[in-house]
Amino acid sequence: MNYLTNEKLVIVGAGGMIGSNMVQTALTLGLTPNICLYDIYEPGVHGVFDEMEQCAFPGANLSYTVDPAEAFTGAKYIISSGGAPRKEGMTREDLLKGNCQIAADFGENIKKYCPDVKHVVVIFNPADVTALTALIHSGLKANQLTSLAALDSTRLQQALAHEFGVQQDKVTGAHTYGGHGEQMAVFASKVKIDGKPLAEMGLSAERWEEIKHHTVQGGSNIIKLRGRSSFQSPAYNAVKMIEAAMGGEKFTLPAGCYVNDEKLGFKNVMMAMPTTIDATGVHYTEPTGTPEEMASLQASYEHLCKMRDEIIGLEIIPAVADWKNDNANL
103 CB-near residues (< 8 Å, 6+ apart):
83, 122, 124, 129, 130, 131, 133, 134, 137
Confidence at residue 91, expressed as pLDDT on a 0 to 100 scale: 65
| Residue 273: C-alpha distances to residues 117, 261, 297, 316 (Å) | 23, 12, 10, 25
Mean pLDDT of 292-312: 96
- Shortest CA distance to 253 belongs to which of 279, 284, 231, 230? 284
- The pLDDT value given to residue 254: 98
pLDDT at 309: 96
**Residue tagged active-site, from 137, 180, 213, 283:** 180
194 is in an annotated binding site: no
| Range with lowest mean pLDDT among 32-36, 87-91, 264-268 | 87-91
145 pLDDT higher than 60 = yes
Give the pLDDT band of residue 136 (cuts 50, 70, 90).
very high
Strands (E), 164-315: 171-172, 175-177, 185-187, 192-193, 196-197, 255-261, 266-273, 275-278, 281-284
pLDDT value for 93: 62
List the single range of 87-91, 142-146, 148-152, 315-319 with lowest mean pLDDT: 87-91
pLDDT 10s digits, 8-37:
999 999 999 999 999 999 999 999 999 999
Integer CA distances (angstroms), 169 to 63, 156, 161, 286, 288, in order: 36, 12, 8, 24, 22
User: Any idea which of 196-210, 215-229, 240-254, 259-273 has the lowest mean pLDDT?
Assistant: 215-229
109 is in an annotated binding site: no
CA–CA separation, 88 and 74 (whole Å) = 38
Secondary element (H or E) of residue 17: helix 17-28
Reduce the DSSP state of residue 243 to 3 states and report it.
helix
DSSP assignment of 186-211? EE-TT-EETTEEGGGTT--HHHHHHH
Q: Any binding-site annotation on 313?
A: no
Report pLDDT for 96: 79
Residue 119: exposure state from Cβ atoms within 10 A (0-12, 13-18, ≥19): buried
Predicted pLDDT at 294: 97
CA distance 204 to 142: 40
| Of residues 94, 145, 158, the one with CA closest to residue 115 | 145
Write the DSSP assignment of 110-140 as a string of letters. Answer: HHHH-TT--EEEE-SSSHHHHHHHHHHHH--
What does 32-78 look like in DSSP terms, one character per residue? -SEEEEE-S-HHHHHHHHHHHHHHT-TT-EEEEES-HHHHHTT-SEE
- The count of residues in the chain is 330
Give yes or no: 214 in active site: no
What is the rounded CA–CA span in Å between residue 283 and residue 287? 13
Ligand-binding annotation for 123, yes or no, is yes
Q: Tens digits of per-residue pLDDT, 165-203? A: 999 999 999 999 999 877 899 999 999 999 999 999 999
Spatial CA neighbour of 293 closest among 185, 144, 165: 185
Q: How far is CA 207 from CA 3, 160, 168, 197, 202, in A?
A: 45, 11, 19, 16, 10
Residue 83 marked ligand-binding: no
Residue 84 has pLDDT above 90, yes or no: no
